[in-house]
Amino acid sequence: MKINPFVYGIIVLLVFFGIIIGFQQAGIWSTSGKVNSSGQQIQPSAGDSSSIKGWMTLEQVSTTFDVPVAEILLAFNLPADTPVSTALKDLESDTFSVSVLRTWLEERSPLTP
């Protein structure tokens, strides 16, 4: 019995994507980087500014590094009415970027080994 190459290709794609989608729906497979293997949301680490990611919010950074949101907004000339739930990547501009925020936090409070 010979399988049509077109049908074989469709079956391979269905199996491949079926496995990925099935595992994502079951909560086993996540590629976002926003949750760890146990499904808990990843938070920045107070001792490591490189743990800050663009999808994290102003509130997460403020809480973890004990810096008032107003001070962050003032330091980077961001609008004072910026919601604390704003993702860092949504604030990217000439005066603000995640890498500049990391540097600012390190300079503001030098990390101790």
Question: Could you read off the pLDDT of 20-43 as tens digits, one per residue?
Answer: 888 878 877 766 556 666 666 666
Residues 94-112 have a mean pLDDT of 81
The gap from C-alpha 77 to its chain's centroid, in whole angstroms, comes to 23
| Burial of 56: CB neighbours in 10 Å, binned 0-12, 13-18, 19+ | buried
Domain ranges in the chain? 1-31, 49-108
Alpha-carbon gap, residue 77 to 102, rounded angstroms:
16
- How many residues in total does the chain contain? 113
Checking if the pLDDT of 81 tops 70, the result is: yes
This prediction has a pTM of 0.60
Among 81, 82, 37, 84, smallest CA distance to 60 is for: 84
